[in-house]
Amino acid sequence: MNFEQTLQILPQQLVFGFALGSVYGLIALGYTMVYGILFMINFAHGEVFMIGAYLGWGVLTWLLSLKLSFLHPIWVLPLLLGIAMLGSAFVGVTLEFLAYRPLYKRGASRLAPLISAIGASIFLQNAVMLTQGARMKVYSSRLLFPPSWRIQVGGVNISAIVIVITLVSLGIMMGLYYLVHRTTLGRAMRAVAEDREMASSMGIPINRIISLTFLIGSALGGAAGVLIGIYYTQIDFFMGYSAGLKAFTAAVLGGIGNIQGAMIGGLTLGIIESLGVTFLNPAYRDVVTFVVLILTLIFKPTGLLGETLAEWKKI
């Protein structure tokens, strides 16, 4: 591909990058919310995202098996998202209760929850592989969003799937922003993140707020799983590893622990990755992501919107 052809497809790649980045932002929010409250990195969050994708696939497959004549994304997509978010939220809260809470209640070091999270990640991967099989599952996205559903904007061809993914992701992110900054629950979450002991003395139920944080972050991951399944049309039990690392990179890029940073980091990473595969071989897609992570850690470890932590908060 010559330079002129590359310039022609650049706007198209930017649109794809923005859509993909919005989903990365959704997953990154799960990492950054948990880190903001507990100062731990929940490496099992990628698997929660993967389970959300499987739940959406299961519901869609079941609906298709009924051979309904009135399948339409206007009600099927909310159903897939709702069930995936509920299921993922349940998994996230269960993980917090069984794998993390016993550790931080006993005053374990920061390393113990990290090891527990890695163990939970491996357990969930293998549980899905054993129950669902190792073969890829196919999302029949074309039956919901026919390829003919697309528009042209300034010479850029945008499919209905890309538009829906972007709007749903941005809508959920804006909803979370409102929840955290404009509601009592959000103020309680920010108080726990700022000073857990002081928040407890003010009557805020710490354990309940932590559980709600896992619930909300995991639900966002489940929604992202469905959107990625619809976008790529194929899912497998290992997808959480790759997507989780990319979302973690997005969270670090934006400033882990900062909700706006996770959103901006996700969008930025998606655009960088999409532009990277425009000029490089697509096989280097993951390399682009990890180069971004390394450069961020070297030159701006606090991320775009992150703050320098006090010594006691550092891992």
Looking at the chain, the number of H-run helices and the number of E-run strands are: 13, 4
Look at 62 and 305; give whichever has higher pLDDT.
62
Instruction: Give residue 190's identity as a one-letter amino acid code.
Output: R
Average pLDDT over residues 248-254: 88
pLDDT of the residue at 168:
93
Nearest to 217 by CA among 102, 117, 39, 92: 92
> End-to-end distance of the chain based on CA atoms, in angstroms?
45
Element (H, E) at 56: helix 45-65
Average pLDDT, the chain: 88
Stretch among 50-54, 166-170, 242-246 having the lowest mean pLDDT: 242-246
The SS3 call for residue 259 is helix
- What confidence tens digit (pLDDT) does each residue in 118-173 have? 999 999 999 999 999 999 999 988 888 888 888 888 778 889 999 999 999 999 99
CB within 8 Å of 10: residues ≥ 6 apart: 275, 278
Distance between CA atoms of 255 and 261, rounded to whole angstroms? 5
Q: What are phi and psi of 41, to 5 degrees?
A: -100, 115
Tokens representing residue 3 in the block: 């330079």
Cα dihedral across residues 115, 191, 247, 169: positive or negative:
positive
Distance between CA atoms of 272 and 160, rounded to whole angstroms? 23
31 neighbors 248 (Cβ within 8 angstroms): yes
Distance between CA atoms of 79 and 146, rounded to whole angstroms? 19
Distance between CA atoms of 222 and 225, rounded to whole angstroms? 5
pLDDT of the residue at 315:
43
Tokens representing residue 153 in the block: 């904007």
Per DSSP (E only), the strands in 121-262 are 137-138, 150-153, 156-159, 234-235
pLDDT of the residue at 70:
80
- What confidence tens digit (pLDDT) does each residue in 170-218 have? 999 999 999 988 999 999 988 988 888 888 888 899 999 999 999 999 9
